[in-house]
């Protein structure tokens, strides 16, 4: 059948609610939505009542699974404007073109709580941004801390299970949950740096508007001339970084569990549009992928801004709250692997695991492989992927051929092997012995935790000590407290002594566990970071 004669192609665009009359899902007018069809005024309800059954069935299936992590969140639409100075490091048009404006959707979240949990808990915050660029979708799926607890994705289920509500009573912050979380931290010295961030004031942001954001992993950027750099992403809030103190957080959790969500919506409604500058740390793309002795593939490490300054390359402004929370904030699907030409992933083992995890979880959370067709996820560029069918397919594909090469239809979408307008992987060499490795360059677990501790003001240090003392004080098991204290002693003896005193425990000796490097000198010599123009 010719395309234009097929009535299916003339179906109206899908609008959720249209017209002035109440209809069934099949578009038939409804005479009465207040009374079920019964046999007689007080008789039994009849199975024949299609409107009743359809209405209740739809309601019964309104809920989808909440995200396995980052279930509690709030989002907003906005715009990203590029300064254009990033053209020297990336060919990604949304960064490289001066004044180019790109539509974005941002979702902020806590990690461990359920969808209905309170906003102002001590936790990591997600900061995920979907850029609807003219070259396809780029997602920057980051957090408000620049490092992560673990170095290898194979441990992600373990840390989440240790921190999530206890499996027997499902009480989120009960003492035994503290035991498993802190047992994990004490047993995994690579977590110490991130634990320092979590126990700092950064763990309780005042507002989403006053959080920094970080891509955490190192990405590879490619410029138009083919030169590559290793890059870390930063979001710098225009309002600066602010936190709540513990007592404030207790009050807001009880008095207004929606504190952060409300703040975001209220600010946008008042025209006080939240803003962040996007910043890049740009490092040379060397064969060993290190910078100043820091392994850039280790997600438990930062690159200090003193040795590689953050250079700002664009401005994000959030201008509009979602019209419908479910359609937008719940159904948005971010993925670390949604990258555009000019931005590439690296061999960071945590990042590599994430490349698998997000699509996999979204297949079940969003019911099949077609969630990219949902309005909030739909690319703003033409899509011609030759995929077919699947649950909740919205498109009516025409033509009988969906493969290349073929001898029947020469009108199929072209590939671009030369990469003119396509994503082409930068050819980086890969070799080595197959095995479950633990690189030596990943074994320094304390020097940056110490750097963080020393960067805090005395008031911030006091908050850090109070947070560790409070949290560890909730643990039932002595060996769990001692395990974490042993790590803190490797960070700083004063920190460990103050927390130990608060817990009434002896100060450990600071002996570094086997297989972990003590504190290799972090070079203070300024290196040669890359530059935007
Ligand atoms: C969700 C960040 C590590 C699995 C998220 C979200 C963020 C995030 C911001 C919320 C997305 C949203 O708002 O919809 C990060 C960061 C990580 C990290 C910055 C480390 C640097 C991992 C790892 C895994 C993982 C290692 C698994 C191996 C997931 C899953 C979701 C999620 C399954 C739920 C996604 C969904 O249902 O849509 N992550 N994550 N994450 N993350 Fe991660």
Residue nearest to atom 24 of ligand 1 (CA): 354
Element counts in the chain: helices (H) and strands (E): 13, 12
> Which residues have CB under 6 Å of ligand 1?
67-70, 73, 107, 109, 126, 128, 141-143, 148, 153, 156, 216, 299, 332-334, 350, 353-354, 357-358, 361-362, 365
Distance CA 150, CA 275 (A): 30
Residue nearest to atom 10 of ligand 1 (CA): 70
- Nearest atom (ligand 1) to Cα of 142: 19
pLDDT given at position 491:
96
pLDDT given at position 518:
63
């003896």: which residue's tokens? 493
Residue nearest to atom 7 of ligand 1 (CA): 126
pLDDT given at position 530:
62
Contact (Cβ atoms closer than 8 angstroms) between residue 269 and residue 228: no
Task: Judge whether 70 counts as a catalytic residue.
Answer: yes
pLDDT given at position 291:
97
Catalytic residue among 70, 132, 234, 463: 70
- Provide the token pair at 469: 């003392």
Mutate to test the pocket of ligand 1, among 354, 365, 371 (most ligand atoms within 8 A of CB): 354
For 86-95, what is each residue's pLDDT tens digit?
A: 999 999 999 9
pLDDT given at position 517:
76
Kindly state the helix (H) or strand (E) to which residue 157 belongs, with its residue range. Answer: helix 156-163
pLDDT given at position 1:
37
Distance CA 130, CA 329 (A): 12
Q: What is the ipTM of this complex?
A: 0.93
How far, in Å, is the centroid of ligand 1 from the Cα of 427? 27
- Nearest atom (ligand 1) to Cα of 70: 10
Q: What is the pTM of this model?
A: 0.94
pLDDT given at position 522:
41
pLDDT given at position 166:
84
Task: Judge whether 143 counts as a catalytic residue.
Answer: yes
């061999």: which residue's tokens? 347
Residue nearest to atom 5 of ligand 1 (CA): 70
Q: Indicate the DSSP class of residue 38.
A: B
How far, in Å, is the centroid of ligand 1 from the Cα of 129? 12
Distance CA 481, CA 497 (A): 13
For 253-263, what is each residue's pLDDT tens digit?
A: 999 999 999 99
Question: Over the chain (533 residues), what is each successive 10-residue block's mean pLDDT?
Answer: 53 73 93 97 96 96 97 98 98 98 98 96 98 98 98 98 89 74 97 98 98 98 97 98 97 97 98 98 97 97 97 98 97 98 98 98 97 97 95 92 92 86 94 95 96 97 98 95 97 97 93 73 45 60
Mutate to test the pocket of ligand 1, among 141, 157, 197, 359 (most ligand atoms within 8 A of CB): 141
- Nearest atom (ligand 1) to Cα of 108: 13
Distance CA 105, CA 268 (A): 14
- Provide the token pair at 441: 């360059």
pLDDT given at position 12:
59
């Amino acid at each position: 059948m010719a395309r234009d004669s097929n009535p299916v192609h003339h179906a109206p665009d899908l609008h959720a609610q249209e017209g002035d009359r109440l209809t069934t899902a099949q578009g038939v007018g409804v005479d009465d939505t207040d009374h079920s069809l019964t046999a007689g005024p007080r008789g039994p309800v009849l199975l024949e009542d299609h409107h009743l059954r359809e209405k209740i069935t739809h309601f019964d299936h309104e809920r989808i699974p909440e995200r396995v992590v980052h279930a509690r969140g709030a989002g907003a639409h906005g715009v990203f404007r590029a300064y254009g100075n990033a053209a020297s490091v990336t060919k990604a048009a949304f960064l490289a073109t001066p004044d180019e404006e790109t539509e974005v959707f941002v979702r902020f979240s806590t990690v461990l709580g359920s969808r209905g949990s309170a906003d102002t808990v001590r936790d990591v915050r997600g900061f995920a941004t979907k850029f609807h660029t003219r070259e396809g979708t780029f997602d920057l799926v980051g957090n408000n801390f620049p490092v992560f607890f673990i170095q290898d994705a194979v441990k992600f289920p373990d840390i989440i299970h240790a921190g999530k509500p206890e499996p027997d009573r499902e009480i989120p912050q009960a003492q035994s949950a503290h035991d498993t979380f802190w047992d994990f931290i004490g047993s995994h010295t690579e977590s110490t740096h991130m634990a320092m961030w979590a126990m700092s004031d950064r763990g309780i942001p005042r507002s989403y508007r006053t959080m920094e954001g970080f891509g955490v992993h190192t990405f590879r950027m490619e410029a138009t001339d083919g030169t590559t750099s290793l890059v870390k992403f930063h979001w710098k809030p225009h309002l600066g970084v602010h936190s709540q103190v513990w007592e404030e957080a207790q009050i807001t959790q009880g008095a207004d569990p929606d504190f952060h969500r409300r703040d975001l919506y209220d600010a946008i409604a008042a025209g006080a549009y939240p803003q962040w500058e996007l910043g890049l740390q740009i490092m040379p793309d060397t064969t060993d992928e290190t910078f100043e002795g820091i392994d850039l593939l280790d997600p438990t490490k930062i690159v200090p801004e003193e040795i590689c300054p953050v250079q700002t390359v664009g401005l994000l402004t959030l201008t509009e709250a979602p019209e419908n929370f479910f359609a937008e904030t719940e159904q948005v699907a971010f993925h670390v692997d949604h990258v555009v030409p000019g931005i590439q992933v690296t061999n960071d083992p945590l990042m590599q695991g994430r490349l698998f995890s997000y699509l996999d979880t979204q297949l079940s959370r969003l019911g099949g492989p077609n969630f990219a067709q949902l309005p909030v996820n739909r690319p703003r560029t033409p899509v011609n992927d030759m995929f077919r069918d699947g649950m909740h397919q919205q498109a009516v594909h025409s033509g009988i051929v969906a493969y290349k090469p073929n001898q029947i239809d020469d009108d199929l979408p072209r590939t671009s092997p030369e990469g003119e307008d396509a994503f082409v992987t930068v050819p980086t060499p890969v070799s080595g012995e197959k095995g479950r490795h633990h690189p030596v360059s990943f074994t320094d677990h304390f020097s940056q935790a110490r750097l963080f501790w020393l960067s805090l003001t005395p008031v911030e240090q006091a908050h850090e000590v109070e947070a560790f003392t409070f949290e560890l004080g909730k643990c039932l098991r002595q060996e769990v407290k001692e395990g974490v204290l042993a790590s803190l002693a490797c960070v700083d003896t004063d920190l460990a002594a103050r927390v130990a005193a608060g817990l009434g425990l002896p100060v450990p000796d600071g002996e570094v566990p086997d297989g972990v490097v003590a504190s290799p000198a972090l070079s203070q010599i300024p290196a040669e970071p890359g530059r935007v123009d």
